[in-house]
Amino acid sequence: MAQYFHIHSDNPQMRLLKQAVEILQRGGLVAYPTDSSYALGCHIGDKEAMERIGRIRALDSDHNYTLVGRDISQLSQYFKMTNEQFRLIRACTPGPYTFILPSTREVPRRLQHPKRRTIGFRIPDNPIVQGLLALLGEPIISSTLILPGSDFPMGDPGEIREQLEHLVDVVIDGGHGGNQPTTVVAWTGASPEILREGRGDSTPFR
C-alpha cells in the first residue's frame, strides 16, 4: 500500500521531501503534483519503475516519456540546444511546458523517440517538485497521470490515492491540481513547432 505524504504546496516539509527522495532512489514510483496536473515519476536509471508507469497508463512501447528537471543545467547533458533555444526556453521556465529537442548520447535508448532520436523534458514551476529535484540532484522520468479511458489528467490527490494505492509507492498530496496538460513545443529544426496547446502560453514560440 502506498504511503501518503501531505506536503505544503508553498513551503514543503524537508523531512517528507527527503523520505520521498529515498523512495525514488530505492526504485519507487511516486505520484506527485506539478504546475499543470499530477504525474507519475521514477528514478532516471530505473527501467522496472518506468515499466510500471507504462502498465498503469496502458502505454504502448512507442510512448515518449519526459525528463523532469530543476533547471536547464540539471538537464543539459541530455539534449542538444542552440543559443537561441536556450534564451527562449530559459525565459519560459520554470513553467507548464514540455519541450522536445534532439537527444545526446547520454539519454538511454528506452527514453528516446525510436526514429527521431529526440527527448522530451520539462521544468515545472512547483515548489514540491523543485524541492524533490534539488535533493535528488538529477532528473526523474515522468509521465502525466492520465488513466486508461480518460482524456484528462488527474488532479485530486484523494482520488489518486484511492485508485493507485496498490500501484505506486507514495502519493504526494500537494493540494488539488489542474487537469490541463502542458503546452508541448518540438524544436528539432530551424523553428519551434507547437504540438499541443496547453496551460503554457504558446505565443513566444510562434
Mean pLDDT of the chain: 92
Helices (H), 97-190: 127-136, 157-164
User: Which DSSP symbol is given to 205?
Assistant: G
Class of domain 3-200: alpha beta
pLDDT of residue 151: 86
Query: Average of pLDDT values for 34-44?
Result: 93
Q: Is 27 exposed, middle or buried (0-12, 13-18, 19+ CB in 10 A)?
A: middle
Confidence of residue 138 (pLDDT cuts 50, 70, 90): very high
Sign of CA dihedral 175, 38, 162, 171: negative
Query: Average of pLDDT values for 79-89?
Result: 93
Please give the Cα distance from 16 to 22 (Å, whole number): 10
User: Is residue 163 pLDDT above 80, yes or no?
Assistant: yes
For residue 181, what is its C-alpha cell? 496538460
User: Is residue 176 pLDDT above 90, yes or no?
Assistant: no
pLDDT of residue 113: 63
What's the distance, CA 196 to chain centroid?
Answer: 16
pLDDT of residue 14: 97
User: Is residue 141 pLDDT above 80, yes or no?
Assistant: yes
Query: Average of pLDDT values for 181-191?
Result: 91
pTM of the predicted model as reported, rounded to 2 decimal places = 0.92
pLDDT of residue 147: 93
Query: Average of pLDDT values for 35-58?
Result: 93
Q: Cβ(36)–Cβ(178) under 8 Å?
A: yes
pLDDT of residue 114: 62
Query: Average of pLDDT values for 128-145?
Result: 95
Query: Average of pLDDT values for 42-63?
Result: 90
User: Is residue 161 pLDDT above 80, yes or no?
Assistant: yes
